[in-house]
Amino acid sequence: MKSANFKTFCDSMEDVSRDIVRACRRGMRNIAAMPWPAMLVCCVVLALIISILPLALFLFILFMGLKVVAGAFVIDRRRTVREQ
């Protein structure tokens, strides 16, 4: 890797980190300016999103995998019936 490429990579990583820090600071200012009931609702919604969304995605992937496996058995059984 050339030093010029590495320098541009480091510059872009610095820009990304600066943008992330800026977004976090803006979010913290917004949270600090919220009244308590709004902050409570925001925390509850974030907790639901953080806990339920991964669970839903995992269950979707699990049931789709089971469907593929069951479908493979059904297709194999139908193929053997047709061949006989």
**24-61 tens-digit pLDDT:** 999 889 888 989 999 899 889 889 888 999 999 999 99
Residues 26 and 51 in one domain: no
0.75 exceeded by the pTM? no
Residues 82 and 65 in one domain: yes
Instruction: Please write the tens of the pLDDT for every residue from 60-83.
Output: 999 999 999 999 888 888 888 888
Residues 22 and 44 in one domain: no
DSSP annotation of 1: -
Query: Which domain does 44 fall in, by range?
Result: 36-84
Rounded to the nearest 5 degrees, what angle is found at the Cα of 74, between the Cα atoms of 73 and 80? 90
Residues 79 and 42 in one domain: yes
Residues 3 and 41 in one domain: no
Residues 13 and 49 in one domain: no
Residues 83 and 42 in one domain: yes
Specify the number of domains making up the chain: 2
